[in-house]
Amino acid sequence: MLSVDINLVSLLDEDKRKTILQCIKFDIGKGKVYTILGKNGSGKSTLIRSLTSLLPTDLYEVKGKALFEGTDLLQTSEEKLRKIRKNNIRYVFQDAANSFDPLKNIKYYFDLSNISPLKIEELLLYFLLPDYKKLSKLHSYELSGGMAQRLLIVLALLANPDILILDEPTSGVDYAVMNLILLKMKNFV
């Protein structure tokens, strides 16, 4: 499904390049769960952002290939990448609150999903979030970190993507919610 062969990820700092990652090669198959392990600051988040060209090109250089269903995600157009990110590969980043536009209410994101409020309500209930009507009126800055994290997971699951990339999805939640997330991820595959 996704075949990654990244030779180099470099941070561009004025006239020099600092190598962050090199020689990364793996394949992701359908119906599987994969984990990237490493110390804090070792480049895990940078790696997952590099897969669909989410790193700013003025700060980072990525050399290699990331093939998704025959398309090299590192060489394709921005328009095609947006479509793939919307429909096929979804992310849940560890800094959930900053993943939302603070000027838009949560209903905006629900409307983007084109999913019925009843289906959304099921996932909100599962993840112990306020009901659709109440949550729709809120803005991201009115959510706790854990609520924002769970809401990002709900939005990602609503898209029913082929690949779901989670960057420390349980970092801002308590153990009960962590178990709900892990159970839902197990059922997702």
Q: Characterize the bridge pairing of strands 2-13 and 16-28.
A: antiparallel
The answer to whether 150 and 97 are in contact (CB under 8 A) is: no
Q: Are residues 96 and 137 in the same domain?
A: yes
Our measurement of the distance from residue 128's CA atom to the centroid of its chain's CA atoms, rounded to an integer in Å, reads 21
Asked if residue 188 has pLDDT above 80, the reply is no
Residue at which a domain ends, from 46, 71, 86: 86
**How many other C-beta atoms are found inside a 10 Å radius of the C-beta of residue 30?**
9
φ and ψ at residue 120, rounded to 5 degrees: -65, -45
CA distances, 21 to each of 16, 28, 42 (Å): 15, 19, 8
The Cα angle at residue 13 between residues 12 and 17, in degrees rounded to 5: 55
Residue at which a domain ends, from 71, 86, 101: 86
| pLDDT score, position 9 | 93
Q: Are residues 27 and 67 in the same domain?
A: yes
Q: What is the pLDDT of residues 134-186, one digit of tens each?
A: 999 999 999 988 898 889 989 988 988 888 888 887 776 778 888 888 888 87
Q: pTM score > 0.85 for this model? A: no
Q: What is the pLDDT of residues 68-85, one digit of tens each?
A: 999 999 999 999 999 999
Asked if residue 187 has pLDDT above 90, the reply is no
Q: Are residues 65 and 149 in the same domain?
A: no
CATH code, 75: 3.40.50.300
Our measurement of the distance from residue 2's CA atom to the centroid of its chain's CA atoms, rounded to an integer in Å, reads 15
Q: Are residues 112 and 61 in the same domain?
A: no
Q: Write b or e for each residue in 117-142: b if 16 or more Cβ atoms lie within 10 A of its Cβ, otherwise e.
A: eeebeebbebbebbebeebbeeebee
Q: Are residues 110 and 158 in the same domain?
A: yes
CA distances, 6 to each of 18, 69, 71 (Å): 15, 17, 15
Q: Are residues 53 and 109 in the same domain?
A: no
Categorize the per-residue pLDDT at 43 as very low, low, confident or very high, splitting at 50, 70 and 90: confident
| pLDDT score, position 93 | 85
Q: Are residues 77 and 94 in the same domain?
A: no
Q: What is the pLDDT of residues 5-26, one digit of tens each?
A: 999 999 998 778 899 999 999 9
What residues contact 52, with CB distance under 8 A and at least 6 apart?
A: 66, 73, 81, 84, 85, 89, 91
Residue at which a domain ends, from 59, 86, 113: 86
Closest CA to 115 of 160, 174, 49: 160
Q: Are residues 106 and 182 in the same domain?
A: yes
| pLDDT score, position 44 | 87
* Domain interval for residue 51: 1-86
